[in-house]
Amino acid sequence: MLKVLFIGDIVGGAGRKAAARVLPELREQYAPNLVIANAENAAGGFGLTLPVYQELMDKPGIQVLTGGNHIWDKKEIFKDIVNMPLLARPLNYPKCTYGAGFVLLDIEGMRVAVVNVLGRTFIETPLDCPFQTMDNFLRKTPADATLVDFHAEATSEKKALGFYLDGRVSAVLGTHTHVQTADEQILPGGTGYLTDAGMAGARDSNLGMSAEAAQKRFLTGLKAKFDVVENGVLVFNAVYLEIDVQGKCTKITRINLAEV
Ligand SMILES: [Fe+2]
Ligand SMILES: [Fe+2]
């Protein structure tokens, strides 16, 4: 059986600290044999660098990282991504030659695929259709269990992909909004679903960033620099899933640690 711990967007040093702090206990409680985290904001709130990739692999011991619209924010990733074999960046960037959109693993005799796709609603990037991208992926990459990180803004797009892939993948787990939703369910075909896993980062913040910058943007219409809130109480949001040998989700449990 596959026991998966999937962590929402890790935001900056605060998010990395939260993950490192709680993972030993969660490992004891759930004994996961696969730990995945979304790392698009892991380096200073924007993007991912090689040292941060290595830190996340070493200290909290995360096995697979996923991305999103911010994954390219630190420009060094374009040269360093070849040294990040356990990162799945969004699969549906058209003709993207940097990195791969999925990671394949062998866990207890099961061939496991972790895929990252990006939504198109309210995301200003020209992307291939995530639905058709997943159709093509599943045709070309059969696996015993497929876990999808659907990084998207709109709840309706996330639900639509969840039901679209129901019975064909083991789980569709949302990321990007940094706010955990409470709608976890096992869909009729046996796919575990959660609209958004949430984040790891500072509690007293605007999605992990300082509230002042967001307020300035809304109040003035001008750009303001976002800084990660690194101090204070930390939150840790994740989801735990059990997947049977047929690739069906048999259990889904939300994890929302409000004071880490
Ligand atoms: Fe994010
Ligand atoms: Fe995002």
Of residues 118, 37, 92, 107, the one with CA closest to residue 247: 107
Task: Give the count of beta carbons closer than 10 Å to the beta carbon of residue 39.
Answer: 30
Residues with CB under 5 A from ligand 2 (ion): 68-69, 176
Instruction: Residue 6: count other Cβ atoms within 10 Å of its Cβ.
Output: 28
Q: Tell me whether residue 151 is one of the annotated catalytic residues.
A: no
How far does residue 149's CA lie from ligand 1's centre (Å)? 12
For position 59, what pLDDT does the model report?
A: 82
Residue 226 in tokens: 């976002």
Tell me the CA–centroid distance for residue 108 and ligand 1, in Å: 31
Distance in Å, CA 178 to ligand 2 centroid: 8
DSSP 240: E
Its sign, for the CA torsion 144, 149, 152, 153, is positive
Reported confidence tier of residue 25, pLDDT bands at 50, 70, 90 = very high
Cα 220 from chain centroid?
32
CA–centroid distance, residue 251 to ligand 2 (Å): 26
Say which of 70, 151, 176, 178 is annotated catalytic. 70
| Ligand 1 center from residue 48 Cα (angstroms) | 11
93-98 LR contacts (CB < 8 Å, sep 24+):
93/118, 93/125, 93/127, 93/128, 94/126, 94/127, 94/128, 98/72
pLDDT digits (tens, 9 = 90+) for 167-198: 999 999 999 999 999 999 999 999 999 999 99
pTM score of the predicted model: 0.97
* Tens digit of each residue's pLDDT (9 = 90 or more) over 55-93: 999 988 899 999 999 999 999 999 999 999 999 999 999
Task: Report the separation in Å between the CA atom of 68 and the middle of ligand 2, taken as the mean of its atom positions.
Answer: 5
Burial environment of residue 22 by CB neighbours within 10 A (0 to 12, 13 to 18, 19 or more): buried
Lookup result for tokens 């058209």 = 94
User: In terms of Cα–Cα distance, which of 17, 10, 118 is closest to 64?
Assistant: 10
* Topology, domain 2-257: Purple Acid Phosphatase; chain A, domain 2 (3.60.21)
* Residue list, CB under 5 A from ion ligand 1: 9, 40-41
Asked whether the predicted pLDDT for residue 124 surpasses 90, the reply is: no
Between CA 86 and CA 107 the distance in angstroms is 14
DSSP of 36-50, one letter per residue? EEE-TTTTTTSS--H
Q: What is the mean pLDDT of residues 204-208?
A: 96
Domain parsing of the chain, residue ranges: 2-257
* Two structure tokens written together for 135: 């159709």
Is beta strand 234-243 parallel, antiparallel or unpaired with respect to 249-257? Answer: antiparallel
Percent of the chain with pLDDT over 90: 97
